[in-house]
Amino acid sequence: MKKIMYSSTNGHPDLLDFKEALLTGQAPDKGLYVPEDIPQLSRETMARFPEMTYPEIAFEVVRLYLGDLVPKNDLKAILEDAYDFDVPVERVYDEKYLMRLDRGATCSFKDFAARLMGRLMQYFLRQEGEDMIILTATSGDTGSAVAQAFYGLENIEMVVLFPEKEVTGRQRKQMTTLGKNVHILAVDGKFDDCQAMVKQAFVDPGLDRLNLSSANSINVGRLIPQTVYYFYAWSRVGMEDLVISVPCGNFGNLMGGLIARRMGLAVRRFVVATNENDEFPQFMATGSYKPIAPSRKCISNAMNVGHPSNLARLFWYYGGKMDELGSVHKMPDLEAMKKDLFAVSVSDEETRKTISEAYNRYDTLLEPHGAVGWAGLMRYIDEVEDWKPCVSLETADPAKFPEEIVKAVGLEPPVPPSISRLEKKEEQFDKIGKGYSTLKENLKKLFG
């Protein structure tokens, strides 16, 4: 099998294999790792997907990126262990489907990436006899998914930063009730502050000996697992060319879809749905990119991102170049982007209305993120005739956002066991101010 190498979107000359890129996280020039070649899935392999389980499909997709780094049987065991939950693809009406990516340990789609990434990191670290500290910033769902995925691993310590006032009680509890190797810091600031603090830690030579790595959507180990469910969706709705709507924050989810498409998946168009943080839809409309700082506080809080880190990958995908600060060094092929992507921004008001309409008309319960995707899809269908069949991604369980659900439909969403177990558990976390120096102090306090 051809060995895929990974390079930095900022142009650093070093090429890394998957193991090195996974354990490094962010490239030394602050770029994001991307595969040098995108492998192809053969039609014959894909034709077998409808009869295959999720972990079996994942095996066919993921192995292409690992080459010989993980022997077949080890990879199969890792995937069976990581993906031990359902992935429902529900018909809502006509040929409109909803794929629920919310049945994992923390009830968000981030479980797909975090669980596999955690297991692969564990696998490689054990091989090397190394220890590592995972440092990550979350706007709500990443931190909990990653903390759960890494909880209890012996060669990994985990530090999660979250914006104190921007996550729900349930999102917080999924992180703060773990303990052991999981350390949680509540930052008096916004998600972008948290992300900036983490990014600075990675380039601080004073912390080199801590062996820090990221688990954000910047890690290539998050990207590859997120290509799999696009193939899965296609295999479950009759193997036809799809329109897929993706609710977007840091654009990692969308990148998974785009890579799946280049691997051979038939996707006619992606609906790229953001909340009121509309820097990307604006870019598509005007050709000029302006990050939004500070990010706007919307009810789909995991998507409150004013400068999505994966835009660097999106620009790379379309032949452009954007650095980590959002400066455009080379314009991507905007015409090709417009052909592939239909970008929309959905207001909080429209999000709430969508939750209530989907429930009242179609008996389908959505939460704010999935509702942004669904609203985007409805707008696409209004404007473009060729939409059948289409799949919208539901990225979290409504039970994670009970206040909004009660407001929109007057009903308490049913609480899955993974969440109800947390209600009585004790929380542990430290509160810190924003700014890099407070993070550095805390890391020194934790790890000496």
Closest alpha carbon to 252 in 343, 301, 314: 314
Provide the token pair at 260: 């799946």
| Cα–Cα distance for residue pair 82/409, rounded to 1 Å | 34
Shortest Cβ distance from residue 310 to ligand PLP (Å)?
A: 7
**Parallel, antiparallel or unpaired: strands 328-330 and 321-322:** antiparallel
| Cα–Cα distance for residue pair 248/94, rounded to 1 Å | 25
Closer to ligand PLP by CB, 149 or 207: give it.
149
Closer to ligand PLP by CB, 63 or 313: give it.
313
What residues have CB less than 8 Å from 415, skipping those under 6 apart?
399
Shortest Cβ distance from residue 101 to ligand PLP (Å)?
A: 9
Give the residue nearest to ligand PLP (CB). 141
| Cα–Cα distance for residue pair 447/443, rounded to 1 Å | 6
| Cα–Cα distance for residue pair 21/40, rounded to 1 Å | 21
Closer to ligand PLP by CB, 10 or 304: give it.
304
Shortest Cβ distance from residue 229 to ligand PLP (Å)?
A: 12
Closer to ligand PLP by CB, 239 or 293: give it.
293
Closer to ligand PLP by CB, 55 or 308: give it.
308
Shortest Cβ distance from residue 99 to ligand PLP (Å)?
A: 13
| Cα–Cα distance for residue pair 294/174, rounded to 1 Å | 26
Instruction: State the DSSP string of 103-132.
Output: -STTSBTHHHHHHHHHHHHHHHHHHHT--E
Shortest Cβ distance from residue 396 to ligand PLP (Å)?
A: 4
Give the interface with ligand PLP as residue ranges (CB under 6 A).
108, 110, 141-142, 217, 247-253, 302-303, 369, 395-396
**CA neighbours within 13 Å on the CB side: how many for 95?**
17
Provide the token pair at 24: 């490094």
Closer to ligand PLP by CB, 26 or 69: give it.
26
Shortest Cβ distance from residue 414 to ligand PLP (Å)?
A: 18
Shortest Cβ distance from residue 250 to ligand PLP (Å)?
A: 3
Closer to ligand PLP by CB, 35 or 140: give it.
140
Closer to ligand PLP by CB, 124 or 401: give it.
401
Closest alpha carbon to 119 in 108, 140, 105, 107: 105
Closest alpha carbon to 159 in 238, 233, 42, 142: 142
Shortest Cβ distance from residue 303 to ligand PLP (Å)?
A: 5
Instruction: State the DSSP string of 298-343.
Output: -SSGGG--SS-TTHHHHHHHTT-EE-TTS-EEE---HHHHHHHEEE
3-state secondary structure of 42: coil
Provide the token pair at 283: 């870019």
3-state secondary structure of 23: helix
Cβ-in-10-Å burial (0-12, 13-18, 19+) of 178 comes to: buried
Beta strands of 234-284 (E only): which ranges? 242-247, 267-274
Shortest Cβ distance from residue 246 to ligand PLP (Å)?
A: 7
Closer to ligand PLP by CB, 49 or 83: give it.
83
Q: Per this entry, what is the length of the chain?
A: 448
Shortest Cβ distance from residue 166 to ligand PLP (Å)?
A: 12
Shortest Cβ distance from residue 277 to ligand PLP (Å)?
A: 11
Closer to ligand PLP by CB, 187 or 366: give it.
366
Provide the token pair at 265: 């998946």
Closer to ligand PLP by CB, 108 or 364: give it.
108
